Amino acid sequence: MGTDWTRTRRMVLRERFSEAEVEDFAQELGWTRQGVDPADPEEGIDYHVFWAPPGAALALHYTEDDLAGDSYVMVIGKDAAAVRGAQALVEPRLKTWRSAELLAEVDRAVGPVALARAVLRAGLGAPEEFNEEFFARIGSALQHPDRLVRETAVWAVTFSPYAEYQPALTALRDGDEDPDVRANAEILLEGFDEAEIRKQ
């Protein structure tokens, strides 16, 4: 996908396996199925389907994300106004988590397991561009006393890797008590370097 394409955030679906619902919605719009990528967990490939309207550089993508344990939809296209218009149709029609709901789930989570789950889902649904509210929740989880929460927060960062996470990731890499957390933080920081993700 070239730089002239635009996309929505990942709109996380409330039901993990929602392909049939998305298919029905695409058919209502008159969009046809254009391709399917079968899942290949060993290669890190998620199950993915997309639909498009005839003659338009616009598509609705459905992905079952194995890491997050959730599914999401995105609209991708060359015309930003058309993408926004399609998103305005998608969110009311499909059962998705709104941004405010993802953040609220993190805030009200009780216990490390529930918090880790909410943080990972928030990471999946975070906007690609820096967002202070998502950064605050996931950044706080990177410093949580429970190892599960910290480790899950590292994975949450991978979906929308803001440069602002680097200091917290560096602290985990250099000083976390858990070797897996240290190792995962190091891998992610190496990915930041390769992608040239740096705070301006």
Q: What is the location of CATH 3.30.310 in the chain?
A: 6-93
Q: What is the location of CATH 1.25.10 in the chain?
A: 99-194
CA atoms within 13 A on the CB side of 135: 14
What is the pLDDT, as a whole number, of residue 155?
Answer: 97
Q: Cα 104 from chain centroid?
A: 17
CATH number for the domain formed by residue range(s) 6-93: 3.30.310
Coil/strand/helix, residue 73 = strand
pLDDT tens string 40-95: 988 989 999 999 999 889 999 999 999 999 999 999 999 999 999 999 999 999 99
Q: Is 130 exposed, middle or buried (0-12, 13-18, 19+ CB in 10 A)?
A: middle
Alpha-carbon torsion 25, 78, 40, 153, what sign? negative
Helix axes 132-141, 147-157, angle to 10 degrees: 140
Rg (CA), the chain: 18
Is residue 200 predicted with pLDDT exceeding 50? yes
pTM of the model: 0.93
Determine the topology of domain 99-194 in CATH: Leucine-rich Repeat Variant (1.25.10)
Question: Would you say 186 and 172 are in contact if contact means Cβ atoms under 8 Å apart?
Answer: no
Q: Of 146, 137, 155, 69, nearest to 101 (Cα)?
A: 137
Classify strands 70-77 and 58-65 as parallel, antiparallel or unpaired: antiparallel
Q: Mean pLDDT over residues 167-194, rounded?
A: 96
Stronger pLDDT, 121 or 55, i.e. the higher one: 121
Coil/strand/helix, residue 131 = coil
Stronger pLDDT, 105 or 197, i.e. the higher one: 105
pLDDT tens string 94-110: 999 999 999 999 999 99
The count of residues in the chain is 200
What is the pLDDT, as a whole number, of residue 1?
Answer: 47
Is residue 137 predicted with pLDDT exceeding 50? yes
Is residue 2 predicted with pLDDT exceeding 60? no
pLDDT-derived band at 170, boundaries 50, 70, 90: very high
pLDDT tens string 3-41: 578 999 999 999 999 999 999 999 999 999 999 999 998
